[in-house]
Amino acid sequence: MKYCLSVFVLALALVAPTTLAQYSQGSVKVEHPWSRPTPPGTPMGVGYMRISNSGSSDITLVGAATPRAGSVSIHETSMHDGVMRMAPVRGGLPIPAGTTVELKPHSFHLMLEKLKSPLREGESIPLTLSFDGADDMQVELNVAPLDGQTMMNDQKANHSGHSMDHSGH
């Protein structure tokens, strides 16, 4: 029993940094910021997280930056007439007072454009989030496959080789 408990604690310690990562600054909390691995030569990556605003005033995520990409933009993926479309979010992503907004696959997300090198499973990517109504916040995107899938299976959902309509650009 003692051995099993030790193995469980060790496994939890290995998983906890990527599944329980959270950052707080003032009334803003960012939980579980993560990204997916990218194959070599893929120029774009993604960023996901939960952003909570416990304050009494609305805030807006207006941008982000990382030294690993030429630029970072906020996008939304949506389904229209059976076609998955992705478009930039104009004017930023509102996070009303007392709410949480989730950046997740097939919804709002960050696009890491012009990657300088592939994002590799297990690494942390420094990211600065910029807000209107709150101070900038430093977080790290933990690179992990979606739902524990291998990178090969995940490429179908990744922005690499996708068939989304980018007409919003």
Q: Is 50 exposed, middle or buried (0-12, 13-18, 19+ CB in 10 A)?
A: middle
CATH code of residue 133: 2.60.40.1890
- Any domain includes 169: no
The pLDDT of residue 79 is: 86
The two structure tokens encoding residue 62: 């207006």
pLDDT of residue 8 exceeding 70, the answer is no
The model scores a pTM over 0.85: no
- Any domain includes 106: yes
Q: Which tens digits make up the pLDDT trace of 41-91?
A: 999 999 999 999 999 999 999 999 999 999 999 999 988 888 999 999 999
What does the chain come to in residues?
A: 169
- Any domain includes 159: no
- Any domain includes 164: no
Please state, in angstroms and rounded to a whole number, the distance separating the CA atoms of residues 130 and 139: 11
The pLDDT of residue 145 is: 85
Instruction: Give the chain's end-to-end CA distance (angstroms, integer).
Output: 57
Number of domains into which the chain is organized: 1
Indicate the pLDDT class of residue 146, thresholds 50, 70 and 90.
low
Range of the domain at 126: 2-154
